[in-house]
A = this chain, B = another copy of it.
C-alpha cells in the first residue's frame, strides 16, 4: 500500500471517530528502543525507518518529527508522500504540542494509542494539551483497523545465563530488590522495562531483532514475584528453575488484572518511562509512588563477574574488528569489491566466530564517505554503495554476547586524508582523551562530563548534535540507564557503571567522524575534597594514526594515544594470525614515528 492510500484510510477513520489530529509513533507497551514489527506503526504509515520519529496526521496535513540523526534518511523516505519533515533538533522548530497549539483550532480532539505510549509521554501530552483546550483521547488504536496485515506479537524462546556468568543468583537479586522497596515504603513494584526482568531472572529473550529482551512484565511485592510472559517462550527446565526461586509464571495479558486486583492501600512503584499509559490506569486505585527506578540502579552497577566478562569479551571483539579491517583492506588492494553492505556482513561474520555470540547489538552503521555524516545511517540494499580506496569510512558496530554487550566506533582512512579530515579527526580524538583521562568527584553529573568532552571540539568551532555517551547493559541492551553523558543529564556517575564515550564531528555530504570506547567507572583517590572517580578503559581496538595531526595534540595526549595503541597490540595479537599482527603493529605505530 502506498503512503497516500494509508493516509486516506486513516483520515476516514479519524473523521468517523471525531479525531482532528492523530499522533502515530513506533513505540511498544514497554517503550523499548527496538520494537517488534507489530509496533512499527509510524514506519508502516510513513515508510521512514529510523529509530526516532513521530507522525502527526490531520485532515489536510501530515508531518514527521525526527532528530538530526535522521534528517537525511527522512528526506529520502518522505519524498513524494506529501508528509512534511519537522526537524526536531533545530532551535526554531516547534515541538508537537506547540505546533498543535498554533495550528489546531480550539476544542480540537487529539488522539494517541495509550496502550503503546509510555506514561511519561502520555502525561506530557495530556498536561500540555488539555489545559490548552484540546480534548485528548488515549483509548483508540486507529492504526489496528487500517493495517490489515499487521504482525502478531513475537514468541521467541528464552535462554538462561548461568550464575557463574551473571555473578549473582535470582534469589539474591530478588532479595536486594525487596530490601530497597522496604526502605522506600513501596508495597508493589512493576518492572516495565523488559531488561529489568532479564536482569532479575538471569534470562535473555529472542523476541526483537537487536534486542536480547523479550516482551514481559514482572510484579514484585513483599511476598510474591509474578512474571507475566507468553509461557511458550520458556523451556520446561527453565520454568522449574524459576518456580524453585519462588517465581509465579503468569500469562502476559494477565498483568492488567494483577494490577487491578491490588488492594487500594497498595503503594505502587512503576517506571513511568517504561510503563504504558493504559497499564498505569489499571493501577490508578493504588497510591502511586513517584520515585527512582529500583532495578535500573541495581542493574547499572556491574558486579565483579560482569566486569571481568566485559573485559574478556571486549578483547575478543577488538580482535574480530581487526580481522575485518585486514579483510577489507586486502580485498580492496587486491582489486576486489567491497560495499557498505558486504562489509557489514563480513564484520558480523567475524564477530559471529566468537564463543557466546548472539547477534549484533544494534544495526551496524557503515558510513562510507558522505554516509558517515548521517548520524544513524543504516545500510540496506537500497542505500548500499561501493567502498573505494579514498575518503573516510566510519564504522559503528557491536555485538551482543553472553559475556557482555559491545559498542565501538572507529574511522578508517581509505586513502590519503586531507588536512581538514585530520583536523576533524584529531579534534574528536582530543575530546575522547579529555574524558577518558578525566578524574571527577563523586556526584559529578553526566552533563558536566559532557561539557568537558565537547570543550575540545568547541575550542575549534566544532560541535555534534548527539549525546556523548550512554550506559551499556551486560549482555542486555546496548543503551541502558540510569547514567547518560549529555548536556541535559543530571544523573550522577556511579562506581561500577559501564558507559560509552563517543564524541563526533560531521560534515554533511562529505564525511563523518566518531571515536567510541567503553569505560568502567572506578575509584581514583580520596582527599580532603572528597572521593574522586576515573574511567578504566575497556575497549581495545586500534585508533588509526594516519588521521592524527600530531601538532594538534599535547605531549600528554600523544603519550596517551601511543600507550593505548601499544596495549591494543599487546592484548589483541595473541588472537590474530601473523599477517593480521603485522597489520596491527603498523596501524598502532607510535605517533612520534608518524609522517
In the complex, chain B residues whose CB is within 8 Å of the CB of A121: none
Give CA–CA (A7, B507) in the complex, Å. Answer: 67
Q: Which residue of A290, A441, A507 has the most chain B CB atoms within 10 A of its CB atom?
A: A441
Q: Is A87 at the interface (CB under 8 A from chain B)?
A: no
The answer to whether A490 and B290 touch across the interface, beta carbons within 8 angstroms, is no
Give CA–CA (A288, B268) in the complex, Å. Answer: 26
Name the contact of A449 in the complex, choosing from B451, B490, B525 (C-beta under 8 A): B451
Give CA–CA (A493, B133) in the complex, Å. Answer: 32
The answer to whether B128 and A487 touch across the interface, beta carbons within 8 angstroms, is no
A293 vs chain B, min Cβ distance (A): 15
**Which parts of A104-136 form the interface with B (CB within 8 Å)?**
127-128, 130-133
The answer to whether B131 and A267 touch across the interface, beta carbons within 8 angstroms, is yes
Q: Which of A205-213, A242-250, A350-358, A456-464 contacts B (4 or more CB under 8 A)?
A: A456-464
Copies in the complex: 2
Q: Is A448 at the interface (CB under 8 A from chain B)?
A: yes
A270 vs chain B, min Cβ distance (A): 12
A512 vs chain B, min Cβ distance (A): 13
The answer to whether B185 and A288 touch across the interface, beta carbons within 8 angstroms, is no
Name the contact of A452 in the complex, choosing from B127, B132, B451 (C-beta under 8 A): B451
Give CA–CA (A447, B452) in the complex, Å. Answer: 10
The answer to whether B462 and A529 touch across the interface, beta carbons within 8 angstroms, is yes
Given contacts A101-B184, A463-B529, A529-B463, contact A91 B451 (CB under 8 A): no
Q: Is A442 at the interface (CB under 8 A from chain B)?
A: yes
A272 vs chain B, min Cβ distance (A): 12
The answer to whether A488 and B490 touch across the interface, beta carbons within 8 angstroms, is yes
Q: Is A139 at the interface (CB under 8 A from chain B)?
A: no
Given contacts A101-B184, A132-B289, A442-B91, contact A458 B490 (CB under 8 A): no
Give CA–CA (A185, B445) in the complex, Å. Answer: 35
In the complex, chain B residues whose CB is within 8 Å of the CB of A490: 447, 487-488, 490
The answer to whether A185 and B101 touch across the interface, beta carbons within 8 angstroms, is yes
In the complex, chain B residues whose CB is within 8 Å of the CB of A529: 461-463
The answer to whether B530 and A463 touch across the interface, beta carbons within 8 angstroms, is yes
Q: Is A532 at the interface (CB under 8 A from chain B)?
A: yes
The answer to whether B461 and A532 touch across the interface, beta carbons within 8 angstroms, is yes
- Could you mark each residue 289-311 of chain A with 1 if its beta carbon is under 8 Å from any beta carbon of chain B, else 0? 11100000000000000000000
Interface residues, chain A, CB within 8 Å of chain B?
A: 91, 101-102, 127-128, 130-133, 183-185, 265, 267-268, 287-291, 438-445, 447-452, 454-455, 458-459, 461-463, 487-490, 507, 525, 527-530, 532
Q: Which 8 pairs between the two chains have the least Cβ-Cβ distance?
A: A448-B451, A447-B447, A451-B451, A131-B287, A132-B185, A131-B289, A488-B490, A445-B487
Q: What are 7 pairs between A and B in contact, CB < 8 Å?
A: A91-B443, A441-B463, A444-B458, A447-B489, A461-B529, A463-B529, A487-B490
Q: With contacts A132-B267, A438-B455 known, what are 10 further pairs, Cβ within 8 A?
A: A91-B442, A101-B183, A102-B183, A132-B184, A132-B185, A439-B461, A441-B458, A448-B451, A461-B525, A462-B529
